[in-house]
Amino acid sequence: MSAMDFFVGITGASGVKLGVRLVGELASRGTVHLSLTPQARSIASGEGVDLDFPRGVRVWSMEALDAPVSSGSFRLAGTVIIPCSLGTLGRIAAGISSNLIERAADVALKERWPLVLVPRETPLNLIHLENMAALARAGAVILPPVLTYYHGPRCIDDMEAFILGKVLDHLGLDHTLFRRWGE
């Protein structure tokens, strides 16, 4: 393991750019293990998002359940699913580990490592909310990409930077992606 290893799962929800930007942020701090769903790749194409990742990012197929991140003996500094489809969120809440993203989340929960889920859906129904509540009780951080204005955003990139900064906060990582309240 390098100084810090992270796992990022990018699923099939709008906002794939958030996941791509997070991989760039984390790659400057350690090794990133990455898996993308086929739907994420399709959405990236439709949203005009380039899936070129920095050198050193280890991209794993969804079927690679033998990847190191599938085991609790391989330490991770954090696992983030961004964006996290509500189907993926529901399967994680149910304890289903049928692919690498779900397994990495399951490992994070069982090992009590940071797990941040960034669900991208609105409105939410009761099943979505109950799944989020179950995961929060299990130790996950549910971090929807909610718009904020107090930091003075001038464009969508500033709003994205705020969300990414909040993810980094929950991983215990310093950053200067946004101006904090009172600064």
Nearest C-alpha neighbor of 125 from the set 117, 116, 133: 133
pLDDT single digits (tens) 152-173: 899 999 999 999 999 999 999 9
Q: Is residue 2's pLDDT more than 80?
A: no
In a domain, 176, yes or no: no
Residue 90 lies in a domain: yes
How many CB atoms within 10 Å of residue 109? 18
| Average pLDDT value for residue range 22-49 | 97
Structural contact between residues 4 and 24, judged by C-beta atoms closer than 8 angstroms: no
Residue 1: is its pLDDT beyond 60? no
pLDDT at 46: 96
| Angle, in degrees to the nearest 10, between helices 86-93 and 100-111 | 50
**Residue 78 belongs to some domain of the structure:** yes
Q: What is the CATH number of the domain that holds 81?
A: 3.40.50.1950
Domain assignment present for residue 54? The answer is yes
Domain encompassing residue 24: 5-170
- Segment 32-39 shows an average pLDDT of 98
Asked, for residue 179, whether it belongs to a domain, the answer is no
Question: Is 110 contained in some domain?
Answer: yes
Does the residue 52 lie in any domain?
A: yes
Whether 64 is in a domain gets the answer: yes
Q: Chain-wide mean pLDDT for the chain?
A: 95
The pLDDT of residue 60 is above 90: yes
Domain count, the chain: 1
Q: What are the contacts of 23-30 at 24+ separation with CB within 8 A?
A: 23/53, 23/54, 23/57, 24/53, 24/54, 25/164, 25/168, 25/175, 25/177, 27/53, 27/54, 27/56, 27/57, 28/54, 29/4, 29/173, 30/2, 30/3, 30/4, 30/5, 30/6, 30/77
pTM: 0.96
